[in-house]
Amino acid sequence: MADKRKLQGDIERNLKRVQEGRLAFQEILEKFEASTNQTQKEKFEGDLKKEIKKLQRLRDQIKTWLTSNEVKDKRPLLEARKEIEQDMERFKVIEKETKTKAYSKEGLLSTDSKKDPLQKEKEELEEWLKQSISLLQTQSEKYEFEIESLSTSNKKKRVDKDKAATIEDKRQRLDTCTFHTEKLETIMRHLDNERLDCGKVRSIKDPVEYVVESVDDQSNQALSDYRSLYDDLHLDELGDTT
């Protein structure tokens, strides 16, 4: 019992530090975005990097707890991990923009003129696909945990019809996440192998983003209507690239 209380205390302190770290990151980010002084912006970027490293260390501990059978309610941990990874992505964008601006105008123009616009778009789509897959995988982990927790509690007593319905609902949502994850992974491989052009991939961005953002909110029937969004890509005809 004492060990469980200690573990719970450690988790609560970690989650509190995550919220404090994310608040500090947001405050510095606002200063970074408002500043027009290059020296100040560089300082703020360094401060952002420090906060992200702190959050990454907290995320490492969270990932360890997520694999532990001793932690029963993993939902707060999954949410904290998701929030940290969102801030990590935000910082990556800032780093990329800063590195680009570091080049002289002449060098930047030279780089832009040499870089194939299609290649640039392909790289942007690949990054979008990776982020979408990551978000779907995070949701899948959440549903898997919730299903396991509900199923375990159901075994201890007579089957609760409402709980059984909830489990089935979670299973359908997990299946939706798995379906779209596999489709997006296939699309990313075909895009990388130049068997799909950027225009076709770009055409599914809006519906995919809608599914990713609303998988937890929309009815399973509404979500099932979006399974056909890949039909025009004819993925089956392109064959397996694995």
Give the model confidence (pLDDT) of 8-17 as tens digits. 888 999 999 9
* Torsion, Cα of 8, 10, 16, 22 (10° steps): -120
**Could you tell me the pLDDT band of residue 239, with boundaries at 50, 70 and 90?**
low
Asked if residue 215 has pLDDT above 70, the reply is yes
CA–CA gap between residue 17 and residue 13 (Å, rounded): 6
CA–CA gap between residue 183 and residue 110 (Å, rounded): 37
Asked if residue 105 has pLDDT above 70, the reply is no
Asked if residue 107 has pLDDT above 80, the reply is no
pLDDT at 181 (0 to 100) = 95
Asked if residue 111 has pLDDT above 70, the reply is no
CA–CA gap between residue 78 and residue 178 (Å, rounded): 17
Asked if residue 62 has pLDDT above 80, the reply is yes
pLDDT at 27 (0 to 100) = 94
- 116 in the Ramachandran plot: left (φ > 0), alpha (ψ -120 to 50) or beta? beta
Choice among 71-85, 128-142, 157-171 with the minimum mean pLDDT:
157-171
Asked if residue 130 has pLDDT above 80, the reply is yes
Whether 61 and 95 have beta carbons less than 8 Å apart is answered as no
**Could you tell me the pLDDT band of residue 19, with boundaries at 50, 70 and 90?**
very high
Residue 66's closest CA among 166, 140, 152, 135? Answer: 140
pLDDT tens string 193-207: 888 889 999 999 999
Asked if residue 158 has pLDDT above 80, the reply is no
**Could you tell me the pLDDT band of residue 148, with boundaries at 50, 70 and 90?**
confident
CA–CA gap between residue 125 and residue 183 (Å, rounded): 14
Hey, what amino acid is at 237? E
Report yes or no on whether pTM surpasses 0.85: no
Whether 233 and 182 have beta carbons less than 8 Å apart is answered as no
Residue 198's closest CA among 140, 119, 84, 89? Answer: 119
**Could you tell me the pLDDT band of residue 238, with boundaries at 50, 70 and 90?**
confident
Whether 13 and 78 have beta carbons less than 8 Å apart is answered as no
pLDDT tens string 172-185: 999 999 999 999 99
Planar angle of CA 87, 89, 95, nearest 5 degrees: 105
pLDDT at 127 (0 to 100) = 93
- Classify residue 126 by burial, with Cβ atoms within 10 Å: 0-12, 13-18, 19+: middle
The residue assigned the tokens 């992505």 is 89
CA–CA gap between residue 224 and residue 203 (Å, rounded): 19
Percent of the chain with pLDDT over 70: 88
Whether 221 and 145 have beta carbons less than 8 Å apart is answered as no
